A = this chain, B = another copy of it.
Amino acid sequence: MQAESLATLDTPALVLDRGRMDANIRHMRKRAAALGVTLRPHLKTCKSVDVARRMVEPGDPVTVSTLREAEYFAEAGFTDIFYAVAIAPQKLDRVAALQQGGARILLAVDSFEAAREIGLAGERLGVRFEVLIEIDSGDGRSGIACDVPQLQDIAAALANGASLAGVFTHGGHSYAGRSADQHADVAEQERAAVTAAASTLRTAGHACPIVSLGSTPSVVHARSLEGVTEVRAGVYVFFDLFQAGIGSCEEGDIALAVLTTVIGNHPERGQIVVDAGALALSKDISTKALGAAGDCGYGLVADADTGAVMEGLYVHGVSQEHGIIRSNGAIEHAGFHIGRRLLVLPNHACLTAAAHDRYHVVDGGTAIEAVWPRVNGW
């Protein structure tokens, strides 16, 4: 029984505004074209074939964060997939099966040990794994520095059952930036690191065709990506309060929200209670890092009929299935009858979306035009 509007849908539920999403997709395509690079969008945010088909053509390059995503998108006809998390050797059987099914799967590696295992597994499984070496450009999460001897050792270890397809970096530290200039500086750190690594490898005789970097803020703000062949970005497809807070977008670009219902109204403590809690919103509080002016608690509140953000209202606290709404000013409690529908804009779209198994698609109104499934898990 499919609900037909935001007034009748069971809550909590994930709502996606198609018009806003399509505009975000158009802008990022233009941005990549202006930078002269291929856009290899990261599908870890959407995890949806219906969304992905609006982002790229099936033969276009894409990025994923789990093998389940790789399998799901390959099944749907996507044939050039970068699994951008360093591969655990135990997962190589699943990768080989995908390749034997006709998809090109690019793998990530940042150690000699893993590179050697990938090569041996390729020989054993009768495939050639294509691998990108991960470079750390300042994020300090994964990858090796661009100027260490391990770079060439790893490349040399990719023999027989494996081959070197290129280098990549993820400037996750762009999330710490607070201005366009700071984001542009991180993008330049990424560019400098991957192009230096590519240059070293090419001098040593490796082709190194792919030179990849990315994160939404660095692609939005990069000054130049000379020497880079591809950019990866994902959250831009929906955007969120954190991205708005650091200047990657405007609040009005956010295409994702959680529909919720008022289940309590407590003037005596200045609180509205809704049926979207930690499980429906996630416990992401990333906007706290933006300071008092940017802190959105667990999300900002919008009117479900108009989509307009309601001045001062935010989700102050969550338990598993309760959200507590407070206001920076005063709440007009009479307006929040039990059963009223509200929207909560997410701090972090990737995590909020992952709490749900489908999107309810609207286009600037309250009518549900489509229901699009997501692929969660591993």
Interface residues in chain A, defined as those with a beta carbon under 8 Å from any beta carbon in chain B: 8, 10-13, 44, 65-67, 85-91, 94, 110-111, 113-114, 117, 140-142, 145, 172, 261-266, 268-269, 271, 273, 275, 278-280, 282-285, 317, 319-322, 324, 337-339, 350-351, 354, 356-357, 376-378
Contact = CB atoms under 8 A, between A and B. Distances in A.
Given A10-B67, A145-B268, A283-B284, 18 more contacts: A8-B90, A10-B91, A12-B378, A44-B320, A44-B321, A85-B263, A85-B275, A86-B273, A111-B265, A111-B338, A117-B338, A142-B266, A142-B322, A172-B319, A283-B351, A320-B350, A320-B351, A357-B376
Contacts of A90: 8, 10-11, 261, 339
A206 B268 CA distance: 26
A321 B65 CA distance: 7
A94 B265 CA distance: 23
A194 to B, nearest CB: 18
Given A113-B337, A321-B65, A86 B378 contact: no
A339 B89 contact: yes
Contact of A278 (B94, B319, B351): B351
Contacts of A140: 269, 271
Contacts of A86: 263-264, 273, 338
Nearest to A356: B377
Given A113-B337, A265-B111, A339-B90, A324 B141 contact: yes
Contact of A378 (B10, B85, B141, B142): B10
Contacts of A262: 88
Given A142-B273, A282-B283, A320-B44, A88 B357 contact: no
Contacts of A141: 273, 317, 319, 322, 324
A62 to B, nearest CB: 16
A284 B355 CA distance: 14
Given A283-B283, A320-B44, A320-B65, A11 B378 contact: yes
Contacts of A320: 44, 65, 350-351
Nearest to A12: B378
A322 B378 contact: no
A200 to B, nearest CB: 18
A263 to B, nearest CB: 4
Contacts of A322: 85, 141-142
Given A10-B378, A321-B85, A113 B338 contact: yes
A376 B354 CA distance: 12
B111 A264 contact: yes
Contacts of A282: 282-283
A268 B65 CA distance: 25
B66 A321 contact: yes
Given A141-B273, A261-B90, A357 B377 contact: yes
A174 B65 CA distance: 38
A165 to B, nearest CB: 18
A89 B11 CA distance: 11
Nearest to A8: B90
A338 B11 contact: no
A268 B144 CA distance: 9
A354 B319 CA distance: 13
